[in-house]
A and B are shown apart, each in its own frame.
Chain A
């Protein structure tokens, strides 16, 4: 297995300064994510976990600390904003397939824009990858014409077309109903077993986190930093049988209190979602 996609988050601080009143969103947060690991970040809505993802992706500046991927400093106090790039691709909460492009046009967008593949080659590769994910039937449909579950899968294929080191998923299944969600989890794992990329996955759903992750980082509510890190010792590959296993239940019980405590704090502080 190649060793790419190690993300080091070192002592990162993010202070927002709306209207002169400094708000600390991320507080001296350190986290080491192994190459090819599925690292789940769990915390209540508005705890600052998306801020962390935006810093890795390069959408927002950090205040201090640094983030390093495979030896390359993405951002630091000297250069507070990383440059977004195809080595770490975000899959957005509400989905960001371009509605004006067909699913296939969406999927080939990355390699064609970067000039990495000729259009013809990109189309062949895109077709193959869509077929691999069981999405051949929707190549020429627009995203608005297929179910939201399919849109998420197409979006992940669009990301994987670029051979990224890491996928950054920001509560991608939040808007889906629980049945679709369970199908999506298995589909994500299936894709992951074929393309071992590092996955940085934000959620507020503890069951989702334990089912998918190698490790689950439970974050404190704003300011955000790891409160507890759980090693999920259920072996991969996993399927939905895991959900009813004894070990799964034990892990939930072990962590539920910590998550609930933070959720209560967030609720009492009246944090806005985001």
Chain B
């Protein structure tokens, strides 16, 4: 969004002020404490079910204490904890793959989605093919991906890219279609050309949907990455989970899973923050509606 001369100063301070205000409001509300209670209940159940009550089916699972001890141990039994360099290599590898897949999916998915929503002709050519490919699960793509890309690395990124791309493109298309016809008409009345309508109405109007799409996209990118890493690959969190299963290192499986959850949550929070930054108008509207 371009800022008007004279406006940016005021805009910057109010944006920071608004963020601070929302954080303060959040801390004053019961929400952060409810969140902590939620985590405590979940972890407490895990601990009790596995280690105290030894419930059927839970009995075989790695317990909370053994996972935490292993995770925080300077000399872990199975070789992987927050003190081992290898742990961070796995994380970095997965993050790097997701980043490539996500940026590729965004760079291609957003324009394709905009075109699908904007041009009826383009949609008629492309959408049926798109809808045929979209429901194919990522695991069904594995054999072809391996055949197509000789290097496993690009095959893994390709698999993580695919479902991301579909989520982004579909949401972007719906975003364009959701734009109230009056905005386009108003822009026409005000003398905007077709390209100006695209730039000033279609793109910003679709942005809320685009960011919903990107949130879904980063999520599906993570779970298809893990599927891909389980099948092929030598590093990464999916690879850890799978090899730990094969090698009977149960606590390490859970370390891999929890790490995935945390890293995944962080990346989708980053997407949300980027969205809030680009759509200040929406943040302010929602703040007024106390949501």
Contacts and interface: CB of A to CB of B under 8 A. Distances in A.
A113 B4 contact: no
Given A98-B183, A114-B191, A144 B284 contact: yes
| A-B pairs, 4 with minimum CB distance | A144-B285, A110-B190, A96-B186, A96-B182
Contact of B185 (A84, A99, A109): A84
B16 to A, nearest CB: 15
Contact of A113 (B183, B185, B191, B279): B191
Interface string A55-94: 0011100000000000000000000000011101110101
A101 B6 CA distance: 15
A140 B205 contact: no
A154 to B, nearest CB: 12
B190 A89 contact: yes
A123 B186 CA distance: 19
A168 B226 CA distance: 57
B190 A98 contact: no
B192 A113 contact: yes
B207 to A, nearest CB: 7
B4 A100 contact: no
B4 A144 contact: no
Interface string B1-45: 100111100110000000000000000000000000000000000
A158 interface: yes
A219 interface: no
Contacts of B1: 100-101
Given A84-B185, A90-B186, A98 B201 contact: yes
A48 to B, nearest CB: 18
Interface string A102-129: 1011001110011000011001000000
Contacts of A85: 189, 191
A106 to B, nearest CB: 9
Nearest to B186: A96
A233 interface: no
B191 A104 contact: no
Contacts of B187: 98, 109, 113
Interface in B163-220: 180, 182-183, 185-193, 196, 200-201, 204-205, 207
19 contacts: A85-B189, A92-B186, A94-B182, A96-B186, A98-B186, A99-B282, A100-B207, A100-B279, A101-B200, A102-B4, A102-B7, A109-B190, A113-B191, A120-B5, A123-B4, A140-B7, A142-B280, A144-B288, A145-B284
A113 B285 contact: no
Given A98-B205, A104-B4, 14 more contacts: A57-B189, A84-B188, A84-B189, A85-B189, A92-B186, A98-B183, A98-B187, A98-B201, A109-B190, A113-B187, A123-B4, A142-B281, A142-B284, A145-B284
Interface string A140-160: 101011000000000000110
A100 B205 contact: yes
Contact of B4 (A88, A89, A105, A145): A105
Given A100-B204, A104-B4, A144-B281, A113 B193 contact: yes
Contacts of B282: 99-100
Contacts of A105: 4
Chain A binding site: helix, strand, loop or mixed by DSSP? mixed
Interface in B120-140: none
A122 B182 CA distance: 23
Chain B binding site: helix, strand, loop or mixed by DSSP? helix
B185 to A, nearest CB: 6
Contacts of B186: 90, 92, 96, 98
Contact of B204 (A98, A102, A120, A140): A98
Nearest to B204: A100
Contacts of A159: 189-190
A51 interface: no
Interface string B92-111: 00000000000000000000
A160 to B, nearest CB: 12
Contacts of A84: 185, 188-189
Contacts of B7: 102, 104, 140
A162 B288 contact: no
Contact of A90 (B6, B185, B207): B185
Contacts of B207: 100
Contact of A98 (B200, B285, B288): B200
A151 B284 CA distance: 16
Nearest to A144: B285
Contacts of A101: 1, 200, 204, 281
Contacts of B188: 58, 84
Contacts of A140: 7, 10-11
Contacts of B190: 86, 89, 109-110, 113-114, 158-159, 162
A99 to B, nearest CB: 6
B185 A110 contact: no
Contact of A142 (B10, B182, B285): B285
Contacts of B205: 98, 100
Contacts of B192: 109, 113
A101 B280 CA distance: 10
Interface string B277-291: 001111011001000
